[in-house]
Amino acid sequence: MARVGNNSTCQSWAYSNVVTVQVVADPAVPSISAAATICSGGNHTLTATNNGGGTGSCTFEWQRATNSAMTDSPTIVQTRPATTYNTGTLTGTRYYRVRRVCNGSGCNTSGWSAVRAVTVVPDPEVTILHSGDASICSGGDPGTFSSSATAGTAYHWQWDTPAAGGSATQGQWTSSAAPATTVTLSNTGFVADPSVVDVSVPAAYIGDLSLTLTSNDPFGCGAASESFVVSVVGSQAATTWTGAVNNNWHDFENWSNCIPGSTTATTIAATANNPRITAADADCFNIEVQNGAQVEITGSLQLNVYE
């Protein structure tokens, strides 16, 4: 208030009416909720906290950019009184910050909050690559399997014999990147080192063998899984001796179409390695021994011909 008077007449002073000047703080920088990681195609809701200050009508102004410095494509995406902002569907990582804007005179806008990343991760993917035959003879090697896996942090291999309803799991391992894994099914059984996973195929087993690679689900995007089926077959309708490996009758690699059985028409071709039956009896439906070829049977063993 102010006081006025008339000095010439020595009159007393008089005061004006009282005027109040209200001083308010500028809008304080709002707090912002924590960063988040979401799956591709997901969304996330960020929350601002009003830390006071400002006058008049106030709103929260949200800014989005494609880099943490907020210099790459910065865009104001929402200006509303509400303290929350939903990102909408995202397929790539985005960065956000918020400030409080008021329309009171002289107390307009706060500084920006800290920057928060909403990191988008792809859904896990796994692929099994196969080099070899999808159908093999009993006791054979189905070839080499290699894996391509992304976005998971742990993976495991599993083999299963569907007809028998049984399964066995090698286990899990962690990897900061896609595992450079080569898998070979052989007769050595499971090994501890997941970079060389060997699965035993019993010599007498006939049927389908399923090899499955599965990722974990670190961010709730859904685990990925892929399977490859190898058919393990027994004796066939016809086969021919090739002697490709040695002279062992019971080695499937010496035959054109698996080891003969009691229903197999069998041809013994003339080769550098004539077949020898030395470990167990042998079977065939009928047999043709071509010129220059012979079959050697040792000890008390026999070749059973079922024709």
Residues 6+ apart with CB under 8 A from 9: none
As a whole number of angstroms, the distance between CA 97 and CA 116 comes to 6
Helices (H), 113-224: none
As a whole number of angstroms, the distance between CA 61 and CA 57 comes to 13
pTM of the model: 0.62
Domains along the chain? 31-121 (2.60.40.10), 125-233 (2.60.40), 238-305 (no CATH)
- How distant is the alpha carbon of residue 104 from its chain centre? 53
Q: Which of 143, 148, 131 is nearest to 215 (CA)?
A: 148
Quick one: pLDDT at residue 179?
38
- Give Cα separations from 214 to 147, 154, 179, 183, 193 (angstroms): 10, 9, 12, 14, 17
Q: Write out the two tokens for 170.
A: 């090698």
**149 neighbors 177 (Cβ within 8 angstroms):** no
Q: Which of 140, 168, 157 is nearest to 232 (CA)?
A: 140
pLDDT in tens, the chain (307 residues): 555 555 555 566 778 899 887 777 889 999 999 999 999 999 999 999 999 988 889 999 999 999 999 999 999 999 999 999 999 999 999 999 999 999 887 778 999 999 999 999 998 888 887 777 788 888 777 777 777 777 777 777 766 665 554 444 444 444 333 333 445 554 344 444 445 555 556 667 777 877 777 777 888 888 888 888 888 888 999 999 999 999 999 999 999 999 999 999 999 999 999 999 999 999 999 999 999 999 999 999 999 999 8
